[in-house]
Structure 1
Amino acid sequence: MAVQGETIHAQPHETSGLRKNTIGAFGMTFMVIAAAAPMTAMASNLSISLALGVGQGTVGQLIVVAALLAVFAVGFVILSRHVTNAGAYFVFIGYGLGKRTGAAAAFVASVAYNMAAGGMIAATGYFASITLESNLGVSVPWYVCRLVALAITALLGIRGVSIAQKFTTGISLIQFGIIIVLGVAILIQRPEGWSLNVFSPSEAFSGNVALTLVFCVLSFAGFEATAIYGEEAKAARRSIKVATYSSLALLAIVFIFSTWSIVAAFDDVAAVAAEDAGTLVFRTADIYLGAWSGPLLSAVVTVSFLAAAIAFHNMAARYLFALGRSKLLPAPLARTHTRFGTPHISSWIQIAISAAMLLPFVLTQADPIVNLFPAVSGITSLSLTSLMIGCCVSIVAARMRKKLQENAWATLYAPILSGAGLLAIVLIIIANYQQVTGSDALIIALMPAIPAAAAVYGAIAYRSNRTGEALEDHLTE
């Protein structure tokens, strides 16, 4: 039983709906991988874990986190059989917990994805500027590079996921290629470094386990993207299922292999990483591939941030579209392009939000990476993990209300197990918030109030907007 989302109150001239059959399981898989940005995760989250977390035990922790997410995916895929909507958690959480809760969740997701898109645009401009300066000797301000990144993101957002998926797939495959080449070089030059001790519980659960757990989970960010594209997918039920498990498996393999290769490259990877976690991958490449690899890796990291920006832009735009369609935000957000069938108004609004986010940093000449990224990492980590917990609770509630008839493992035990694990991670994030964000500034610590306020606003907007009561009621089965 599948449910497609279009509000009966929307007039034909306002939206004809998202274009169908524009993306398949393959494209959806790589839109998820693009959002995770394997090279940037290696150069940031996982390198920090090697330095300050459990060290070489990070490899084992990645297996634990991948297993937890695989258990979560069981219930997630079951829900995707019953509801399909561009604002995935919107109806996933609302299906079991009520439409008001679903509306609150949708606003939280919208804030998180819009913040992530803006952050990735800033990072693209920042690293593009560094790459041009170091490799070509051309000095271009980061905000000029940011404008180029915004233009590319806007163009691909308007043209649709059929084009965006080709771009992000290409960039993802380049990242895979670099990771494989570096890993093979390390294997050939230092085969003795590849020890199975990295998988032992004594390594995985020694040191700062909390920090490693959080950064491993963040490395898989964007996991929801498969369901977001459900309305545009070919054979939606099958595509979401295949893409969800495929993206998780590919990311797990890539992260485990790449992290293990970095561990194998050094006698004491924790000590080497602690010198400068941010340059660990680059220093490793210099040693095992040669000095030529530096400029290439710099360029790959830049385009990986751009791919992540495009992926998060598309996700954020579809949430704005879903909220506009349900009249919880202005109805024009639900209009689709007459030629491309994309939520073009929502795309332009998302681009405007990204530009507005970065404007203060341009005017004050502040460093966007130092000042913006901590806020983005804090908000996205708390928001997305909390939404996944909400999805788990929704599955159990839907089972209790006999809305889900599938087996007990998928609709009861799996969501309870994964929900409990994700709740523990949320509590760990809160307890270690300064380390997660890399900032002890009070304003960064207060940033989670933004998605919390968005949730409250969403619940109030649903209650006060009577058209919102028809949310998904009209859907045909």
Structure 2
Amino acid sequence: MSVDNPVKGRTAGTVSTERRLGVPAVTFMIIAASAPLTVLAGGVTTTFGVTAVTGVPLSFLVLGGILALFAVGYAAMSRYVTNAGAFYAYIAQGISRPAGVGASLIALMAYNLMQVGIYGLFGFTVSSLLSARLGISVPWWIPVLVCIAIVGWLGVNRVDLSAKVLGVLVALEFLVVIVYDVMSLAVAPEGVSAATFSPETLFVPGVGAVLSFGIAAFMGFESAAIYGEESKDPQRTVARATFAAVGIIAVFYAVSAWAMTVGTGPSAVVETAANSGPDMIFAFLGEHGGLLLSDIAQLLFVTSLFAALVSFHNAVARYFFSLGRERVLPGALAKVRADSGAPFAGSLAQTVIAVVVTVGFAIAGSGSELGELYPVLTMFTWLTNSGALGLVLLMTVVSVAVIGFFRKNGHGASLWVRLVAPGLGFALLTLVLVLIVSNFNVLLGQSESTAASFVLPLLVLLPGVAGIIWGLRLRRSQPALYARIGHGSENGWQDQ
């Protein structure tokens, strides 16, 4: 249901009047957010270099198992709650409406932090490539502003256009990583060994930091539910895409991290990663596959970041839409384009936020002693790790919401689905959350805690507190609006 609006579109009961997305499209959107080549070149090398733990390959399988447990109840609940607000709607219906409003603001902050933070790495990478390959000196923030415009344009067009673009980019990423894996196993200076999959290589001092770094590689897997209103068959699409994404991400990253240890040598991988960082991958490809292959991989590294930016942008836009539709935030945010059904108001809001934050960091970093690494060591590192903290917190709370939801109405779900799996997921995600908080200074690249170690987590938590207070106020002042919180377009409700 929708109401025509003469102001550049319409306010809709759902994001789109057409359900365009199938399981493959949603899965690509999810995996694009995790940015496979970015994780391998940036995340895995950083984890090896910072933690000096060689059991990184096993950590991806451990985290995949934890998130699969979470996904059992999450996917089951998606069959009965179809809402572009996802976490927000799940917590509102499974725990309480004020908790849902609090979760919605944490989600908005977390997804924005993830998306805008990646722009920092994107700008640095493009600027460095232009300088190295073409001799052109361009400030990091110029490529970022250009990219923001392109991402914003995709965000206000049909979602299946974004899915097609991401599908091509993700396929190319997988291809180059597979080439790297095969070459690594062929080189194998110390022989091919599965030693880095053994528990004693992971469960050592530093395991907490490894899991804290690793969880960021999965961020975005939970976003399948966000596209439920645009899926051809949301009762099946969300669940299948979620499990497919978790399985693919866990296995692919585990194998690729293992191949890295084999290609470099288990005894040398930590030192090499610490000294080379992301260049470790590209140098290896250049040495064993030629300069052209290395250049192609670096170009795909840029497109990997772009794919993640598009995916997170779409997630943020749909959260704005969902909250605007239910008047938790201004109703203007619920505007969608009449021709594409895309949430153009939410997309525009996210674009404006990205521009403002980028300009702020550009001004603050002018003349910084960090030099050209400034956008990576501040904008990227600070914001993405804070965003990951927020998303893990939300998944922990959603595990409780799943139990609460099925306690009210079992819907014929088994004990495993409605209690055991989400209960185990809650316990294990709580452990990961504690490890992230206790290792937050490590994630920020600091040897000791600083003001940033405390301010950044608060940046994620305080909107949640404000949201709960706002939800309680709505309960008193606008009971009709309060009753609709977390229920989106259910029961034929539409904006007036």
Same fold per superposition (TM over 0.5): yes
Q: Is the 8 A contact 2:115 2:384 kept in 1?
A: no
2:482 counterpart residue number: 468
Letter in 2 for 1:18: V
Q: Separation in 2 of the partners of 1:412 and 1:243? A: 22
CA-to-aligned-CA distance 1:29-77 (integer Å, 9 cap, x gap): 0111111001111122211222233633111111111111111111111
1:410 counterpart residue number: 417
Q: Separation in 1 of the partners of 2:47 and 2:386? A: 19
Against the structure 1 CA distance between its residues 92 and 54, is the aligned structure 2 distance closer, same or farther, given a 3 Å change threshold? farther
Letter in 2 for 1:32: I
SS at match of 1:83: coil
Q: Separation in 1 of the partners of 2:31 and 2:82? A: 21
2:260 counterpart residue number: 262
Q: Is the 8 A contact 1:58 1:259 kept in 2?
A: yes
Q: Separation in 1 of the partners of 2:457 and 2:236? A: 35
CA-to-aligned-CA distance 1:417-461 (integer Å, 9 cap, x gap): 111111001111111110112245413531121222211221222
1:39 counterpart residue number: 37
Letter in 2 for 1:383: G
Give 1:403 shift. 4.7
Give 1:233 shift. 0.6
Q: Separation in 1 of the partners of 2:350 and 2:190? A: 49
Which residue of 414, 428, 440 maps to 1:433? Answer: 440
1:27 counterpart residue number: 25
TM superposition score normalised by structure 1: 0.94
Letter in 2 for 1:152: I
Q: Is the 8 A contact 1:194 1:260 kept in 2?
A: no
Alignment of 1:334-345 (within 5 A): 334-345=334-345
1:419 counterpart residue number: 426
Q: Separation in 1 of the partners of 2:109 and 2:246? A: 24
Q: Say which is worse superposed, 113-122 or 307-316, in terms of deviation.
A: 113-122
Letter in 2 for 1:418: G
Q: Separation in 2 of the partners of 1:472 and 1:49? A: 38
Q: Separation in 1 of the partners of 2:68 and 2:52? A: 22
Letter in 2 for 1:308: A
Give 1:115 shift. 1.5
Q: Separation in 2 of the partners of 1:187 and 1:413? A: 40
Letter in 1 for 2:467: G
Q: Separation in 2 of the partners of 1:307 and 1:60? A: 26
1:358 counterpart residue number: 358
Unaligned runs of 5+ in 2: 369-373
Q: Is the 8 A contact 1:54 1:204 kept in 2?
A: no
2:385 counterpart residue number: 378
Letter in 2 for 1:136: L
1:208 paired with 2:206, answer yes
SS at match of 1:15: strand
2:398 counterpart residue number: 391
Give 1:355 shift. 0.5
CA-to-aligned-CA distance 1:352-406 (integer Å, 9 cap, x gap): 0001111122223252222212321332121110110111111122233335541
1:307 counterpart residue number: 307
Q: Separation in 2 of the partners of 1:109 and 1:296? A: 35
Q: Is the 8 A contact 1:54 1:207 kept in 2?
A: no
Q: Separation in 2 of the partners of 1:235 and 1:342? A: 19
Q: Which runs of 4+ in 1 moved over 4 A?
A: none
Q: Separation in 2 of the partners of 1:169 and 1:341? A: 20
Against the structure 1 CA distance between its residues 173 and 299, is the aligned structure 2 distance closer, same or farther, given a 3 Å change threshold? same
Q: Separation in 2 of the partners of 1:52 and 1:399? A: 42
Q: Separation in 2 of the partners of 1:34 and 1:306? A: 9
SS at match of 1:372: helix
Q: Calculate the aligned-residue CA RMSD, in Å.
A: 1.9
Q: Separation in 2 of the partners of 1:355 and 1:193? A: 49
Which residue of 9, 15, 24 maps to 1:18? Answer: 15
Q: Percent identity?
A: 29
Give 1:129 shift. 1.3
Letter in 2 for 1:294: S
Letter in 1 for 2:188: R
Q: Separation in 1 of the partners of 2:388 and 2:187? A: 37
Give 1:189 shift. 2.7
1:3 counterpart residue number: none
Q: Separation in 2 of the partners of 1:405 and 1:376? A: 41
Q: Separation in 2 of the partners of 1:127 and 1:52? A: 21
Q: Separation in 2 of the partners of 1:173 and 1:250? A: 13
